[in-house]
Structure 1
Amino acid sequence: MEKRMEKPESLRKNGHKFCPGCLHGVATRLIGEAVDELGIQDKMVGVIAVGCANLTQLYFDFDLIGAAHGRAAAVATGFKRMSKDSVVMCYQGDGDLSSIGIAETLHAANRGENITVIFINNCIYGMTGGQMAPTTLVGQKTTTTVYGRDPLHEGNPLKMAELIAGLESPVYVARFPLHTAKGIRDAKAGIKKAFQNQIEKKGYSFVELLSNCPTNWKMTPLQTLEHIENSVSKYFVPGVYKDLTKEGETK
């Protein structure tokens, strides 16, 4: 029988430790496939901090650096400047990247550091207990917004792709959903393009992936996919927000 699919070489053979139905597993698979297809496993360096993203240390089979909470972009900047031939990726969740790490995130993007940032947006703090994140939707109930997020008290959700696309230096900024086959295909192409941009020394790339959290959303995995379709992707609209690697820009 012909083998049609197998685990990427850049992923360890053990299974991931994410909650059942969590799309972190899809995201890590796409990264592994992109790394394999580009042949960069021996050059790949991932920078991870805290939260659910930290579990990738059990899954990615390439060099990893642990950063303090929110500091992944700063650590990635230092390592990339020291080791210019490495392909350096930040893998961060929304609480880590857009809350405590927003200064490091924006300044690295503004400087145009030649790194790749993969941003997992599931609209909530996952591992730490389901608190409100900067990306939590208006009306969404969390352990710290028990009546739902109120923009009068907590402000509106941050749209990180749009924020970063508004800076001059980033060369590629995109957002893809992971709840459909098309979204997964587009996400794979976007991740691969972001790595290729770095290999070609084109500059800073940011890929936001719309994910879920069955545990803290208190939904079944199927319900979370419907929620991404009906609510999350309506506010965080998927698309390529900036692409300076080809003539002109999109969106």
Structure 2
Amino acid sequence: IHAARRNVDIVAIVVNNQTYGMTGGQYSPTTPLGSKATTAWYGTIEPSFDISALCATAGAVFVARTTVVHVDRMDKLLVQAVNKRGFSVVEVLSPCYTNFGRQNRLGSNVEMMKQFRVSGVPVDRWEKMSESERSGRFPIGVLVDRDLPTYLDSYRGACETAAKWRAEGKI
């Protein structure tokens, strides 16, 4: 979050399976409210983070979302993120079949992948959808693309100002 706020020139690729899946299926900050997990047998009681929205609000200059099913889009988004100056994040939604999928009765791995294909809506279509049409779905593609000075740019500017003031006897 601080890297996004400061606009540090970093690319973060977040593979979001909505759980801590590699360690036994514990719920995570991205687990949907009410979902079951090995550490939440009766369902989570906390609202989940929207990684992309969180990074956008924190100040990331490039935010994109895709899924493991939309590989053709992923390649392009990763290239855009790498070529962007400043903090970029690409959120890649990925199903957790082993624990999360079973505990929440989301079907087989194939069914979960099919659901990702249906639920992921390109941003241009998403923007034209009503709230009811958006229910259970999420936008994929470039969510934020803006230009702001990077942390290093701002730091260098501050150093130049300090050197100038020192030379002028102001400090």
**What residue number does 2:54 align with?**
163
1:227: how far off? 4.0
CA root-mean-square deviation: 2.1
1:238: how far off? 2.2
Deviations 1:18-37 (A, max 9, x none): xxxxxxxxxxxxxxxxxxxx
Q: Distance in 2 between matches of 1:236 and 1:134?
A: 17
Q: Does 1:124 align with 2:19?
A: yes
**What residue number does 1:192 align with?**
79
Bigger Rg, which one: 2
Q: What is the number of residues matched between the two proteins?
A: 128
Q: Does 1:242 align with 2:133?
A: no
Change (3 A) 1:239 1:166: same
Match of 2:63 among 173, 190, 194: 173
Q: Distance in 1 between matches of 2:80 and 2:140?
A: 16
Change (3 A) 1:232 1:243: closer
Q: Distance in 1 between matches of 2:80 and 2:120?
A: 24
Q: Distance in 2 between matches of 1:140 and 1:232?
A: 20
Judge conservation of contact 2:66–2:120 (CA < 8 Å) in 1. no
Change (3 A) 1:155 1:110: same
**What residue number does 2:93 align with?**
210
Q: Distance in 2 between matches of 1:231 and 1:195?
A: 26
State, as a whole percentage, how many aligned pairs show the same letter.
35
Judge conservation of contact 1:172–1:242 (CA < 8 Å) in 2. yes
Q: Distance in 2 between matches of 1:127 and 1:235?
A: 25
Q: AA paired with 2:110?
A: L
Deviations 1:66-106 (A, max 9, x none): xxxxxxxxxxxxxxxxxxxxxxxxxxxxxxxxxxxxxxxx0
Deviations 1:119-146 (A, max 9, x none): 0011111111101111111232111111
Q: Distance in 1 between matches of 2:82 and 2:5?
A: 18
Q: Which has the higher contact order (CA 8 A, sep 6+)?
A: 2
Deviations 1:201-244 (A, max 9, x none): x1111000010111112253202213435668835432322101
Mark the runs of 5 or more structure 1 residues left unpaired by the alignment: 1-105, 246-251
Q: Distance in 1 between matches of 2:120 and 2:43?
A: 15
**TM-score, scaled relative to structure 1:** 0.47
Change (3 A) 1:242 1:231: closer
Q: AA paired with 2:140?
A: P
